[in-house]
């Protein structure tokens, strides 16, 4: 279960204090999916970063299956992300020098050499996203949609409990966006994981499931 309790985030800037998130609370049960929508600057990406233990909240707490990652050291938090969370970003952020398969396996390298089991899973995931013929291709040799599918496979390679996607289809055409979203939903669901997607696109949000809006840092009911 993912729990966010009274999460707020504010920054000091030259002009004063800016509150990005304001007392956000929600829970997400196992296998549940949530789409968060909202205008630019509403704090969607910040909320996702806090849920993904990438950024610490100013106040409030976040826990995944009862574990609050912000109570751990930076190294343990990194392992927490590695073992429990998968990320899909708006930009694919693939390593240009590595093949599609290698990119998928990158999270596994965080703790040591890649095991044959993980390699098999990575290969399976790429087949699932329709890239069985592109395993050895580098990002520069793939289309935008293919790159994002590789990114999806990378997010899922270690079977995370939670997948966080930040505008995963923001740079894709609508058809490709639908494909990628479906794959994300399907593959997350197959593993029994939770999915949180931040998006501007109503169609994407609809495919995810539950939709909540974030306006001026507050999560509407």
Partner 1 sequence: MIDPARPQVGSLGDLALALAREWWPQVAALAAACGVVATTITGALAVGSSLERGLRSLALDRLGRVEAAVLGESFFTSDLARRLTDAAANGGPQQVVPAVVLPVTVSTARGSTIAATLLACDDPAALGYEPAPPPLTPDSVLVNEPLAESLGVAANDPVILRLPRRSEVPADSPLGRRSGASDGRRLSVHAILPERGLGRFSLRPQQSTGPLVVTSLATAHRVLRRDAAINAVFVVGMPRGPDAAQWLRSHLAPSLADYGLALEPASGSLPSLRLTTDRLMLSPDVDTAAAAVLGPVGGRPTLVMLANRMTAGSPATAQASVPYSTVLGIDTTNLPVGNLVNNDGQPLAVPPEDGIIINRWLADDFAAQGRPVTVGDPITLTFFEPETVHGRVVESTASLRITGIAAMLGGATSRDVVPEVEGVTDEDSIADWDPPFPFDASRVRSTPPHDEDDRYWKEHRATPKAFIALATARRLVGSRFGGTTAWLVPTAAISDLAAVEAALVSRLRPESTGLTVAPLQRDAIAASRGSTPFGSLFLALSSFVVAAGLVLVWLVFSLLVVARRRDLGVLAAVGWPPKRLALLLVTIGSLAAGLGAVAGAVIGPAWAHTLLTFLGRRWATEVDPGSAAAFASQPPDLATLAAGAGSAFVVSLSALAATAWRAGSRPPRELLRGNDVAVVPTRRRWPAVAALSGGILATAATTLQGMASPGEAAVGTFFIAGTAALAGLLAGVWLWLSSPPATAAVRTLSGLARRNLGIAPARAFAVAAIVAAATFLVVAVSSFALRLPPNLSDRAGPTGGWTDIVRFGDATGIDPTDSTVRSALGLAADQEALIDDCDIALLRASGGDDAACTNLYATLRPTVLGVGPTFLTRGGFRFLSSIVVDRPDDTPATENPWQWLQDRHDPSGPIPAILDQATAQWGLKLGGLGSRFQLDDGSGKAVTLEIVGLLEPGILQGHVIIGERDFERMFPMRSGYSMALVDASKVPEVQRVRLTAALATAWTDAAPTITPAARRLASLQAVQNTFLAGFQALGVLGLLLGTAGVAAVQAQGTLERLGPLSVLRAVGFTLARVRCLLVLETLAMVGLGLTIGAAAACLAVMPALLTGQAQFPLALIAVAAGGSLTAAVVASTAAASRHVIPIRPRSE
Binding site for partner 1 (CB under 8 A): 49, 52, 54-55, 74-75, 78-83, 85-87, 89, 91, 93, 95-99, 101-102, 105-107, 109-114, 119, 122-123, 135-137, 154
**For residues 220 and 212, is the Cβ–Cβ distance under 8 A?**
yes
Smallest separation, CB 24 to partner 1 (Å): 17
Residue 172 or 207 with smaller CB distance to partner 1: 172
CB 37, CB 202: distance < 8 Å: yes
End-to-end CA distance of the chain: 19
Question: Measured from the CB atom, is 101 or 194 closer to partner 1?
Answer: 101
Backbone torsions φ then ψ of 30, nearest 5 degrees: -60, 130
CB nearer to partner 1: pick between 52 and 207 = 52
Smallest distance, Å, CB 162 to partner 1?
Answer: 12
State which residue, 12 or 221, has the beta carbon closest to partner 1. 12
Question: Which tokens is 158 given?
Answer: 């270690």
Q: Please state, in angstroms and rounded to a whole number, the distance separating the CA atoms of residues 186 and 206.
A: 14
């Amino acid at each position: 279960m993912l729990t966010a309790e009274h999460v707020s985030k504010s920054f000091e800037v030259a002009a004063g204090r800016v509150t990005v998130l304001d007392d956000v609370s929600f829970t997400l049960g196992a296998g549940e999916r949530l789409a968060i929508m909202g205008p630019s600057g509403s704090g969607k990406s910040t909320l996702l970063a806090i849920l993904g233990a990438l950024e610490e909240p100013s106040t409030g707490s976040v826990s995944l299956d009862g574990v609050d990652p912000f109570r751990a050291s930076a190294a343990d938090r990194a392992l927490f992300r590695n073992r429990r969370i998968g990320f899909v970003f708006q930009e694919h952020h693939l390593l240009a020098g590595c093949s599609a398969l290698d990119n998928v396996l990158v999270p596994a390298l965080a703790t040591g050499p890649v095991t044959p089991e993980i390699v098999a899973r990575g290969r399976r995931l790429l087949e699932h996203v329709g890239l069985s013929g592109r395993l050895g291709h580098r990002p520069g040799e793939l289309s935008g949609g293919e790159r994002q599918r590789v990114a999806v496979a990378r997010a899922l390679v270690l079977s995370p409990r939670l997948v966080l996607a930040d505008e995963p289809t923001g740079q894709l055409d609508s058809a490709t966006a639908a494909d990628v979203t479906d794959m994300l939903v399907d593959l997350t669901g197959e593993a029994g994981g939770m999915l949180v997607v931040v998006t501007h696109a109503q169609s994407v949000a609809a495919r995810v499931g539950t939709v909540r809006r974030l306006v001026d840092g507050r999560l509407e009911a």
